[in-house]
């Protein structure tokens, strides 16, 4: 077991982790933050995407111990004071979700892309979301939502 300190959505957590515990399981099972979903569990689908130090990362492909001392944001931490984040609001307005399973990962990947200044065109957004799959295949509305949010933010 290893002592690890994580800051998740602004709250500090001190945990004893087995090195093999993946970050996604730490978030879901240790901290009860089940908004982060597991799709493929093989680094391919992006459902488990969270922000580590503000950047999108697949949490099924990172160990909890690797996140020691780092800041993590999950979908539960995006809204503030009861106000949806601009990307969440845009997903709502543009009907960018169907079953919703890919949505937390899509939203966080989009937040990272916009923050990095890379959501500059429709094709840049499509390429920038290449690590996230939507089994309901609602990509058009997802891209519309991210374009709208990027225009609002910048």
Ligand X SMILES: Cc1cc2nc3c(=O)[nH]c(=O)nc-3n(C[C@H](O)[C@H](O)[C@H](O)COP(=O)(O)OP(=O)(O)OC[C@H]3O[C@@H](n4cnc5c(N)ncnc54)[C@H](O)[C@@H]3O)c2cc1C
CA distance 49 to 83: 22
The token pair that represents 113 in the structure block = 């892309």
Residue 121 binds ligand X (CB under 6 A)? no
Single residue of 6, 31, 65, 142 touching other proteins by CB under 8 A: 65
Contact flag: residue 66 with ligand X (CB under 6 A): no
Non-local (6+) Cβ contacts of 81 within 8 A are none
36-55 binders of ligand FES (CB under 6 A): 38-41, 43-48
- How many CB atoms within 10 Å of residue 25? 20
For 126, the 3-state DSSP assignment is: helix
21 binds, among other proteins, ligand FES, ligand X, none (CB under 5 to 8 A by kind): other proteins
Determine the 3-state secondary structure of 139 from DSSP: helix
- Count other Cβ atoms within 10 Å, centred on residue 7: 14
135 binds, among ligand FES, other proteins, ligand X, none (CB under 5 to 8 A by kind): ligand FES
Q: Which of residues 12-51 bind other proteins (CB under 8 A)?
A: 18-22, 25, 41-44, 46, 49
Instruction: Return residues touching ligand FES (CB under 6 A).
Output: 38-41, 43-48, 58, 60, 97-103, 134-136, 138
């Amino acid at each position: 077991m290893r002592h690890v300190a994580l800051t998740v959505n602004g709250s500090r957590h001190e945990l004893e982790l087995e090195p093999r515990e993946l970050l996604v399981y730490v978030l879901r099972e240790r901290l009860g933050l089940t908004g982060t979903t597991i799709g493929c569990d093989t680094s391919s689908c992006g459902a488990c995407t969270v922000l580590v130090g503000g950047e999108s990362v697949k949490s099924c492909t990172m160990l909890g111990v690797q996140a020691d001392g780092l800041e993590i944001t999950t979908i539960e931490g995006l809204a503030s004071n009861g106000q949806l984040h601009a990307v969440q609001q845009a997903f709502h307005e543009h009907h960018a979700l169907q079953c919703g399973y890919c949505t937390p990962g899509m939203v966080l990947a989009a937040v990272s892309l916009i923050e990095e200044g890379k959501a500059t065109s429709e094709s840049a957004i499509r390429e920038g979301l290449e690590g996230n799959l939507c089994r309901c295949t609602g990509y058009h509305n997802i891209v519309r939502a991210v374009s709208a949010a990027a225009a609002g933010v910048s």
